[in-house]
Each structure stands twice: as structure tokens, then as C-alpha cells.
A and B are shown apart, each in its own frame.
Chain A
Amino acid sequence: MASGSVLFDGKDLLSAEPGVLQGIRGKSISLIFQEPSVALHATMRVGQQVRQVLAAHRIGSCDELDRRTSAVFEILFGEESERIARSYPHQLSGGQRQRILIAQAIACRPSIVVADEPTASLDPTTQMEILEVFRALQKSMSLAMIFITHSPALLSGFADRILVLYAGRVVELGPAKQVLISPKHPYTQALFRSIPALDETHDGGKRNLPTIARDSDIPSLPRSGCRFEPRCPERMDICKSKDPGFVSLNASHVVSCFRYENQ
């Protein structure tokens, strides 16, 4: 990391010893990846794969490990848990494999789970099912979650707060409902406009979806000023020369844009 700090429970993770980090990774902070078929070992029973996470963190004796493993499977699969634990990844559906990754992530009862596009490869019905699993786990384990996604609509009714990143910078951060229903940053607004609506009518021939201007023809990011300036429909002179700071719209909603500076 070039600079900055990551504080977890008051301790800076970036200056922490590798040994200390080893104890945090997967135990206090765990990660769920997008593609479960790649993240899982193809020739090892999934029960064993979850058990190894516990074993790596020296959770307890062999009996204890077995007990904790089946407890986690119980949470995620209910009655089917024993059969699933004995299966290999290829015998499971996409949704079930995603649940195995979740099982690995929550096995050590972490305080934060980072989920990177956990539902991107799933169909909508299964997507909903996995979101429901997350919601239930959050309630029962008081889990904090960072849910990384490129489909903002998934977040409605699920996230508490939404942070919008553009080109490596935070452009907007606020309560989910506010950000989704009345986004403030021009990038967030343009992004949401490009999603086709289910209730549009389809009689008038094929329309173009609104896109964000000029994507591939920008050679590199601007060196100074707002990163979104070259594509922004509402750019002003100042955007080119100066970095926008954060403007607080209310106690919890901030946006990085000059348009809101003098309001």
C-alpha cells in the first residue's frame, strides 16, 4: 500500500506483523469471492474445505472442529446439511456452491465479511435466495458486511449505506435509500439512468439506453481535478483544475462534487 491506514478494532492493519494478520484473515475479517467454482477445490469434499478454515485458525480439537463444521452447515443448509457436506463442488448447484463459500467465510464467526460480487454469476431467483441468507446471518451473528457489486438495484432493501467509487475515489457515500432514490453525484446519476427499467413500454421501437459519454476513448485519467470531469455532463471550469472535496448534504450523506459546494 502506498499510503493510508486501515484501522480494525483500533489497530492499524497496514503496520501489523504478518503473524498478527494471519490471525485476522479469515477469522475476524473474511472474504467471499465471485466465482465459487474457481474458489473451491474440485476434488475435496466441501465439508472438508469448510473444516480446514477452522483448523487453520486452531479453533480446537478434532471433535470440536467436526462439531463446528456441522453447525455451520446446519445454519446454511438445514436438513440437507449432511448430504451437502459430503458432496464435491461439481455435484452442487451454483447457489449451493455460493453457500459453501459463505460457510467458509462465517465458520470462524468473523466480525466483518467482505463479499466481492457474491451473486454476479447467479440467476435472479438464486440471487434473492443468497441475499436472504446474508440478511439472516447479519441478524443472527451481528455481522458487519461490505458488499461489493456492480448492480446497484441489488442493494435496495439490503444495504444500510452505499459508497460509490469512481476511478479509485469515493464520489458519494450515504444511506442506501437516499443514494438509490435520489443520487447526487453526476456519476451515480448517470450510472442509475443506464439501467433499463422493467416498467418501460416496448411499443415505440428499440430505444437507446442513456450511457455515460466517452468511455473507451479516454486515454488516461486526468492528472488533476475531478476524475469524472472528462465524462461529466455537468462539468464546470473549476472541475478541471481543482480536486473536489467532500460536501456534506446532511449528517450522513456526503458527495464529492463542486456542484453542491455553495448550497
Chain B
Amino acid sequence: MNAVENDKNVQPLLEVENLVKTYFRRTLTGSRENVRALDGVSFSIFPGSTLAIVGASGSGKSTLAFCLACLEKPTSGAIRFEEREILQFDEKELRGVRRKIQLIFQDPANSFNPRWQVLEILTEPLALQGNLSREEIRLRAHALLEQVGLAAQMDGKLPLELSGGQRQRLAIARALIIEPKMLILDEALSALDCSVQAQIANLLVELQRSRGLTCLFITHDMAMAAHLADEIAVMSKGRIVEQGHPDKILKQPQAGVTRELLAAVPRLDSAPAQEPES
């Protein structure tokens, strides 16, 4: 399905090798206990493609997102981004990488300053870079608002005045404004109702087409993962237990975890457990 993957000359945008992240937790008796949130994760993503990571809560999906966005330091392993080993980078170099990998969360309301207007929220990343004039920044912001399906006139609103779908569009716009190479979406659609989910999903597909964005889509919605991704990786207990083309994962799931996740997907037409009386 994805032409770039077959092309041997194209290098992966991101390569993760044997990534391990251990947290320490204090038990009730006060002794330290190891929690292996990531237990040897390896995969690679090619430019312009989407990898979906699915798994139950606590399987390490979000820890992985934080490590890739350089917000957490992995205990061991390697992350190569644009063919450079980023774990050896110093803080200054890391800042350059963070710019290129943007993270979008489930509930964007928590990541906006509630007293800032849409325009301020959207342009802060650009203003921080400080190499554009105010007018240029404003123009770019307006163009981007239109592109994600928000009206430019909305730039004076507060986050509270936006609907859930509009807030998620704003979060995507803010992530895109510094022109990243890669988006990490951590349950970015989960809080939206299904018609708005479909709109945002379409927006992502369109943005990927027009900008060649690479996406890491973290979710527990198997159907949406299959719809959006070129490849699905199933995580359980900090490991990738199965990885492959969406059709293969859905139709011939190998790992028990995958089968459990698929069995739990609610379907509109599944037969009622019992006929309602009356």
C-alpha cells in the first residue's frame, strides 16, 4: 500500500531499537520497585506513512510517545531520527528535534492556557522562535486555521468557547505551525463523538497527503487504527507483540492480546445478548 516502504533507497524517518524505560515506584514498605514501562521496543516509520500503536491501558503506549517526543529519557536503547542518534544529543540539539516531532493529546483543553485567545495559543510556538514578524505570524496562523477547517475570524475566541472538535483542530493547527516532520497523536480522537472523529480523521489523511506528514497514531480504537494506519503495532506490557498491515492484524491476528482487543470492539450489528422483554 505504501510505495515508499518498498523503495530501498528511502531511509526510515524514525527508527527505534530495543527501547527500555524503567520507572521506580516506592512500595508501601518503602522499598524501591522497578516498573518496566517499555521492555525492548523496536520499530521504524517511513516518511509520509502512519503507524498505529494499539494496546490496553498500561501497555506502555503513552510512555513510548513521551520518549519519542524527547520529553522522557529512555533507560536504554536507541532512537534514530533522520538517521541521527538523538539519545546522545544535548539539550540544545534536543530542542531542534522536539520542534520536528509534535505531540497531540486526548484532551487539548488541558494543554491550552484557558485565558489565551486562539491566536495567542496558535502562534506561541512561532513567536518563541522569533524569526518572523508579527504580521507574518498572523497571516500564517490564519492560513493554517482555514486549512484545519476553522474560520480565521475565530482567532479571538477563548478555548472554552470552542467545541471539542474545534479544540482538537486547534491543537492540530498549533502542532503544525512550526512545520514538524512527524505528529504523535496520543488518543487524540478518543474524547470526540463519532461524526467529529470522522472529520478529524479525514483532516489527518488530507494533511498527510498535502504535507507528507509522518504520523504515529496511538489509540485503543482498533477500527480507527486500521482505517488511518499503513501499519499497526500491538503493544502489551511494554512490548510490541504483533506488527503488520491492518488487514493482516484484523483478519489473522496471531497474538492473544490482539484477539482480545478485537473481540472487545463494539459493533453496531452485534446480536443483543438477550431480547428485550415487551
Stretch at the interface among A2-10, A65-73, A107-115, A186-194: A186-194
In the complex, what residues of B have CB within 8 A of residue A154's CB?
266
Structural contact, B224 and A156, CB atoms closer than 8 A: no
Stretch at the interface among B38-46, B123-131, B196-204: B196-204
Closest to B247 in A: A202
Structural contact, A198 and B268, CB atoms closer than 8 A: no
Chain A nearest Cβ from B254, distance in angstroms: 17
What is the 8 Å Cβ interface bit string for chain A, positions 23-35, against chain B (1 contact, 0 not)?
Answer: 0000000000000
Structural contact, B151 and A125, CB atoms closer than 8 A: no
What is the 8 Å Cβ interface bit string for chain A, positions 172-196, against chain B (1 contact, 0 not)?
Answer: 0001110011000000001110111
Structural contact, A123 and B220, CB atoms closer than 8 A: yes
Asked whether A192 and B250 contact (CB < 8 A) given A126-B56, A211-B199, the answer is no
Asked whether A211 and B198 contact (CB < 8 A) given A176-B276, A198-B222, the answer is yes
A58 CB within 8 Å of chain B: no
Chain B nearest Cβ from A145, distance in angstroms: 13
A249 CB within 8 Å of chain B: no
In the complex, what residues of A have CB within 8 A of residue B223's CB?
195-198
Say what secondary structure dominates the interface of chain A.
loop
Listed A/B pairs (10) with beta-carbon separation below 8 Å: A120-B190, A121-B190, A123-B220, A127-B264, A156-B267, A156-B268, A177-B276, A198-B223, A206-B209, A211-B195
Report which B residues bind A (CB closer than 8 A): 1, 55-58, 149-151, 163, 165-166, 169, 190-199, 201-202, 205-206, 208-209, 220-224, 226-228, 245-247, 250, 260-262, 264-273, 276
Chain A nearest Cβ from B12, distance in angstroms: 20
Closest 9 CB pairs of A and B: A194-B198, A150-B193, A153-B266, A124-B264, A209-B198, A196-B227, A160-B276, A123-B220, A202-B246
Asked whether A198 and B270 contact (CB < 8 A) given A124-B264, A126-B56, A209-B198, the answer is no
In the complex, what residues of A have CB within 8 A of residue B190's CB?
120-121
Tell me, in angstroms, the Cα distance from A184 to B1 when the chains sit together: 37
Structural contact, A209 and B261, CB atoms closer than 8 A: no
Interface hub of B192, B197, B198, B261 (most chain A Cβ within 10 A):
B198
Tell me, in angstroms, the Cα distance from A121 to B250 when the chains sit together: 23
Asked whether A206 and B247 contact (CB < 8 A) given A157-B272, A181-B268, the answer is no
Identify which of B56, B202, B209 contacts A125 (C-beta below 8 A).
B56
Structural contact, A190 and B195, CB atoms closer than 8 A: yes
In the complex, what residues of A have CB within 8 A of residue B266's CB?
124, 127-128, 151, 153-154, 156
In the complex, what residues of B have CB within 8 A of residue A194's CB?
194-195, 197-198
What is the 8 Å Cβ interface bit string for chain A, positions 13-51, against chain B (1 contact, 0 not)?
Answer: 000000000000000000000000000000000000000
Chain B nearest Cβ from A151, distance in angstroms: 7
Structural contact, B272 and A203, CB atoms closer than 8 A: no
Identify which of A122, A128, A177, A205 contacts B1 (C-beta below 8 A).
A205
Asked whether A157 and B273 contact (CB < 8 A) given A198-B222, A216-B151, the answer is yes
Structural contact, A120 and B270, CB atoms closer than 8 A: no
Structural contact, B205 and A192, CB atoms closer than 8 A: no
Closest to A202 in B: B246
Tell me, in angstroms, the Cα distance from A59 to B220 when the chains sit together: 41
Closest to B151 in A: A217
In the complex, what residues of A have CB within 8 A of residue B56's CB?
123-126
In the complex, what residues of B have CB within 8 A of residue A201's CB?
247
In the complex, what residues of B have CB within 8 A of residue A180's CB?
268-269
Asked whether A198 and B262 contact (CB < 8 A) given A135-B273, A176-B272, A211-B198, the answer is yes
Structural contact, B196 and A215, CB atoms closer than 8 A: yes
Given A122-B57, A196-B198, A215-B196, 16 more A-B residue pairs with CB atoms under 8 Å apart are A124-B220, A127-B264, A128-B266, A153-B268, A156-B267, A160-B276, A176-B276, A194-B197, A198-B267, A199-B250, A202-B245, A202-B247, A203-B247, A206-B208, A209-B201, A216-B166
